[in-house]
Structures are given as C-alpha cells and as structure tokens.
Amino acid sequence: MSYRSGHYSDHHHPQDYGRTPPRRPAPHAARAAATVDADGYTIAHAGKQVRFGPVVFWIVVGTIVLLGIWSAATATYFAFRDDVLTRLIARQAEMQYAYEDRIAELRAKVDRTTSRQLLDQEQFDQKLDQIMRRQTALESRATALGAIPDVGATGSIRPPARGVEPPASGSLKPSPISDTVIFVAPPDREARLESRAPIVIKPQQNQFAKVQGVDNVLVRLQNSLDNVERRQMAALSAVEVSMESRVRRMRGVFTDLGLDMAQLEAATPRSAIGGPFVPVKLPADAGAFERQLHRINIARTQMQRLNATLALVPYRKPVVGEVEFTSGFGVRSDPFLGRPAMHTGLDFRAATGDPVRATANGKVVSSGWQGGYGRMVEIDHGNGLSTRYGHLSEIHVRVGDVVRIGQVIGAVGSTGRSTGPHLHYETRIDGDPVDPQKFLRAGVRLSAG
C-alpha cells in the first residue's frame, strides 16, 4: 500500500505483507428521520415515508404523553398509597365476616325455632297427660256416683250438639246422656320439627296455625271436662241434700211418734253378714269431691240403718188407693147400741175381697176369729209395736209367719160386729191402742220429701 499525493492506493507494497489492512467503513445503515416542512410532518423509516398533518401529529403525541403521565401517576400512587389495597382487602374480609355472621344468626334462629318446637311438644304432652289423668279421675267419680242409689252416671263427655246449650253449672239435675270423649292424637314430633338447614328457614305461619289448632283442641277438652266436673259436683250436691233431708225426716218419724230410736235400732233383726272392722279413712289430700262423697257415704249408711228400723214402724197404708175413713179413732156412737163407745182404730172404706197388706215387717201372733173383730190378723213388729186387721173375709197367713211390708195377709170383708164391708185397722204400743192417723201422717211427711 502506498500513498501518493494524499490519495490512498490499493496497490500493496511488498513491505506491507503481513500487516493488518485497515478496516473499510461499513455501508450506511437504514436510519429513521423526521423532517418538518410547510405541509406537515414526514417520518422516514427504511426508505419509507409517512406524512402526518399537524393536528393528527399532535394528537398522537399528546395521547402518548398522557398515557405516560397516567402510568407514572398510577405507579406512584400505588407505590406510595398501598393503604387502598389494604382497605379493599379489609372490605372483602368485612363482607365475608358479615356473611358468616348472617349464617350464624340464621343457624341460631333455626336452633331457637327447634327448641321452641320441642318446648311446645313437651308442654302439649304435659297438658294431654293432665287431661288424661283428669278424665280417669272423672270416670272413677262417675263409677262412685253410679254406686249411689238414684244417681245416674255423669262422668262422660260429648261435645254439645249444634244449637244445644250446655246445662247450667248450678243445675242439680244430673245429665242423663252418656257421652264419650275422643282425644286427638298428639302430632308426630318429627313432623313438627323444622329441618336444620344452614341457611334456609321455612315459613312458620302454618306451623303456628297447627300449634294454635292443637291448643284450641286442648282448651275444648278442658272445657268439656270442666262441664262434666260441674255436673258431677251438682249431682253430688243434690244427692247430699236429698239424703240429709231424708235422714232428718226419718228421724222426725221417731220424734213424732214418741218412739225410742236407739231401742228400735238395737232390736232390729240383722241379716247374716259380718267381717273385720276396717274404719273409713279420708286421705289428707282429698279434694272437695272426695270429702263430699265421704259425707254422702256416711249419710247413706245412716239412712240404711234408719230404713231398716223404720221397716218395723207401721206408718204405711194397709189398703191400696185413696184413703177414705168411715170412722176415726176415739169416742163415737156405737153403730149397734147407739151409745158412746171408744173406737180403737180406723175404718177404711173398701170393697169385699180387696187385698189387705201388712204395714210393717213383723211376725203373725194371731190369725183367726176374734169376737167383734170377726176374722182378724195381729202382727207383732217388735219393741211393743203391733197392728191389727179386723173384719176380714179371708186370711192368708198363719200364726208364726214372718211377713214383710206390703205383703197381702187377707181380704176385706164384713165379719164380726160390722155394718158393711170395710177394714178395721189398729196400731198399738205396748198393747195400748193409739191413733193410726198419727203413724199415717208421719208416713205422709216422710214420703213427701
């Protein structure tokens, strides 16, 4: 290589062999350039030129600048204000907690509903059990009432018929109707419990309506049992009043007749009965019904004893039908002699052949012809009491026969000193005649009650 006149020569000098030749400049690379002229902006790249108007160019440039600024501002904001992200996370956590609290609240509500249902079921079972026990008690009371004479069973229940009013609580007349209570079976416990779903709760309106309906049934049953109990107490009170009144009247018979009741009771024949003495004890927790029933049983025992004693007292009529006296007890004009005479009995008008009945229990001590009595029957009732039946046309008993109240002992006639068919009837105490009307009036007062 040689330089000549400052020009580079490609000819190699022999001395240049072995040297590194100088690097040749590379061809010009493609360059992008932008030029501005009066018509707008021209962008040249790789030999291609794109021409923009001034408005479009500045819009593009402004958009790029704004995007850059927004990106820088956003990066700076999130870099220096990370509490926004924290608040977003806290907000999300708060929403999650609120949702979990709502779920817990709904679960608690379901638990309360279930507990209330279990409590309702338990209360219903208790009320039903109470009603059943009360019904059993009323049935036992009805059995006790049925054992009392002239008292019908009043221990049953029937809902009153439509349009029929229930009896007044103060009525003394026992109900003649035998009724029956039909209890509604308790609802299935499982069917009454709500499903324990975690979120969904079923409407309670229908369930409350069912519970209210069951309560209404229980109330109606309670009211029915109340009515039955009132009827039972009214019937029991009526029986007690009736028995006490009758006992007073029965005691009054002995007082009116001047008889010794204790002596008559001691002489009253007794049936073949016996057994150990077991005193009646009233429980300490006995209710009003049991106490009243106890009083009635005592009164009934007294009444039975008095009845057995009064069976020996001749206070009944010896003939059936209307009583018509043809001659009373006391002084009268003798029908044959026309002079004053003592009439020791009552003359009952009757037709020949009419039955003559014993006026009290006793034993025949005379049966046959007895002078002015004609055919006569005398019955000893014990304790000095006796009765005579004279002028009989027929005699149906013999001496030693035991007769009962109302037994026919003969027939009306006109034997002996008699002016026509009638019955001569006498009552005697210790052999002395007394006015039979005194006994008859006591019997009328006793039966009038």
Same domain (yes/no): 112, 218: yes
Same domain (yes/no): 266, 140: yes
Instruction: Phi first, then psi: give them for residue 359, nearest 5 degrees.
Output: -90, -5
Distance CA 307, CA 265 (A): 10
Same domain (yes/no): 304, 373: no
Same domain (yes/no): 395, 334: yes
Residue with tokens 């046959």: 368
Say if residues 311 and 361 touch (Cβ distance below 8 Å): yes
Same domain (yes/no): 117, 247: yes
The pTM is what? 0.54
Same domain (yes/no): 345, 206: no
In a domain, 114, yes or no: yes
Distance CA 58, CA 64 (A): 10
In a domain, 34, yes or no: no
In a domain, 60, yes or no: no
Question: Of 287, 310, 333, which marks where a domain is finished?
Answer: 310
Distance CA 425, CA 271 (A): 30
Distance (Å) of CA 121 to CA 117, 186, 194, 217, 218: 6, 9, 13, 14, 13
Q: State the CB neighbour count (10 A cutoff) for residue 10.
A: 7
Which positions ≥6 away from 13 have C-beta within 8 Å?
A: 1, 2
pLDDT of residue 181: 36
In a domain, 342, yes or no: yes
Structural domain count, the chain: 2
Which positions ≥6 away from 198 have C-beta within 8 Å?
A: 103, 106, 107
Same domain (yes/no): 255, 133: yes
Same domain (yes/no): 306, 334: no
pLDDT of residue 31: 55
Same domain (yes/no): 297, 375: no
In a domain, 58, yes or no: no
Q: Which residues of the chain have pLDDT under 50?
A: 1-14, 17-18, 26, 28-30, 151-205, 207-208
For 161, the domain range is: 82-270+279-310
In a domain, 37, yes or no: no
In a domain, 428, yes or no: yes
Same domain (yes/no): 297, 329: no
Cross-strand partners of 331: 342
In a domain, 71, yes or no: no
Same domain (yes/no): 241, 147: yes
Distance CA 50, CA 32 (A): 11
Distance CA 201, CA 443 (A): 80
Give the domain CATH number at 378: 2.70.70.10
Same domain (yes/no): 232, 330: no
Instruction: Phi first, then psi: give them for residue 49, nearest 5 degrees.
Output: -125, 135
Model confidence over 278-300: pLDDT tens digits?
777 777 878 888 888 888 888 88
Distance CA 154, CA 233 (A): 10
Dihedral in degrees, nearest 10, Cα atoms 410, 414, 420, 425: -50
Say if residues 351 and 412 touch (Cβ distance below 8 Å): yes
pLDDT of residue 60: 82
Distance CA 427, CA 432 (A): 8
SS3 call for 397: coil
Distance CA 396, CA 379 (A): 13
Instruction: Phi first, then psi: give them for residue 442, nearest 5 degrees.
Output: -65, -40
